[in-house]
């Protein structure tokens, strides 16, 4: 049976057509799959499970219907929705898994992760990531009123756009925001796998690598800005496909 992987949908109310595409994918393509893995950034921003957004409600219902139909859904938090919690996961019927995790595909181990952990050259982001993953920081943030959390998320998105613009002007955007090859090699060796699947960089590709004298593959999932991007793994077939 086919196992599906997606990431970086960045769903929000400003792009309803992408939410519609995802809901169709859940109703059609994903039905009957062995499992669906969502590797982070399902939402453009997530400020707490108490957010009453219509997009969040529609997605929870769509995922729940897929799970009830027999396809388990697993979720890794991304850099945009790292605050997605157990309450929302229960509503959607999906299981939150750690970033990174090793899963078995056709009897062989594969490493899955959102992908931001591999971008170690982006020191500013890595510092921000460490701060916002701290349980004390998260508890303090989630204790604030919802409007304050939404305002923080909007400010953080603006800062991210400014930082990316500065990198583009400096000509370092491609290298700083992509994975660090040495970190990729380290993760292959640390987890003892020959297949790695991640998103985050929005650079869809299947990379053939030689790490430690072994043939390895690193699959990068695409985003859902212009069209959908799905990885299908079935036996020896590992294939990236687009959806419209």
Instruction: Using alpha carbons, list the distances in angstroms from residue 178 to 80, 87, 141, 231.
Output: 17, 32, 29, 20
Q: What pLDDT score does 166 carry?
A: 60
pLDDT at 226: 87
Note whether 75 and 94 are within 8 A (CB): yes
- Domain of residue 196, CATH code: 3.60.21.10
Residues 15-20: contacts with CB under 8 Å, at least 24 apart: 15/44, 16/55, 18/224, 18/225, 19/55, 19/58, 19/59
Q: Rounded to an integer, what distance in angstroms lies between the CA atom of residue 21 and that of residue 18?
A: 5
Q: What is the pLDDT of residue 153?
A: 87
By the 8 A CB rule, do 76 and 38 touch? yes
**What pLDDT, on the 0 to 100 scale, is given for residue 37?**
98
* C-alpha closest to that of 128 among 172, 161, 169, 159: 159
Using CA atoms, how far residue 125 sits from 78, 156, 178, in Å, is 13, 11, 12
Domains held by the chain: number = 1
Let me know: does 93 contact 73? Beta carbons within 8 Å.
Answer: yes
Cα atoms in the 13 Å half-sphere on the side-chain side of 27: 10
What is the reported pTM? 0.93
Number of other CB atoms surrounding residue 17 within 10 Å: 7
Residue among 204, 230, 234 at smallest CA distance from 219: 204
**Tens of each residue's pLDDT in the chain, 244 residues:** 899 999 999 999 999 999 999 999 999 999 999 999 999 999 999 999 999 999 999 999 999 999 999 999 999 999 999 999 999 999 999 999 999 999 999 889 999 999 999 999 999 899 999 999 999 999 999 999 999 999 998 887 777 776 666 656 655 545 557 999 999 999 999 999 999 999 999 999 999 999 999 999 999 999 999 899 999 999 889 999 998 8
Q: What is the residue-wise DSSP string for the chain? A: --EEEE----B-TT-HHHHHHHHHHHHTTTTT-SEEEE-S-SBS----TT---HHHHHHHHHHHHHHHTT--EEE---SSSTT--HHHHHHHT-EE--SSEEEEETTEEEEEE-SGGG-TT-HHHHHHHHHHTSHHHHHHHHTS-HHHHHHHHHHHHHHHHHHHHHHHHHT-HHHHSSPPHHHHHHHHHHHT-SEEEE-SS---EEEEEEETTEEEEEEE---SSSSEEEEEEETTEEEEEEE-
Q: Which domain holds residue 193?
A: 3-243
Instruction: Give pLDDT, residue 1.
Output: 86
């Amino acid at each position: 049976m086919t196992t599906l992987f997606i990431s970086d949908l960045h769903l929000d109310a400003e792009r309803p057509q992408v939410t519609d595409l995802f809901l169709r994918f859940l109703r059609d393509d994903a039905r009957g799959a062995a499992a669906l893995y969502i590797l982070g950034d399902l939402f453009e921003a997530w400020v707490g499970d108490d957010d009453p957004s219509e997009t969040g409600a529609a997605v929870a219902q769509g995922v729940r219907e897929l799970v009830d139909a027999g396809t388990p859904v697993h979720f890794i938090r991304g850099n945009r929705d790292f605050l997605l919690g157990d309450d929302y996961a229960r509503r959607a019927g999906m299981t939150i898994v750690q970033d990174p995790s090793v899963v078995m595909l056709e009897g062989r181990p594969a490493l899955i992760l959102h992908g931001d952990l591999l971008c170690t050259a982006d020191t500013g982001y890595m510092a921000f990531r460490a701060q916002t993953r701290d349980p004390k920081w998260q508890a303090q943030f989630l204790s604030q009123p919802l409007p304050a959390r939404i305002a923080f998320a909007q400010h953080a998105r603006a800062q991210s756009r400014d930082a990316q613009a500065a990198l583009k002007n400096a000509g370092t955007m491609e290298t700083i925001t992509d994975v660090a090859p040495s970190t990729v090699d380290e993760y292959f060796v640390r987890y003892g796998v020959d297949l790695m699947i991640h998103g985050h960089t929005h650079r869809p590709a299947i990379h053939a690598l030689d790490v430690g004298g072994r043939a390895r593959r690193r699959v990068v999932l695409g985003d859902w800005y212009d069209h959908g991007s799905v990885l299908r793994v079935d036996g020896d077939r590992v294939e990236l496909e687009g959806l419209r």
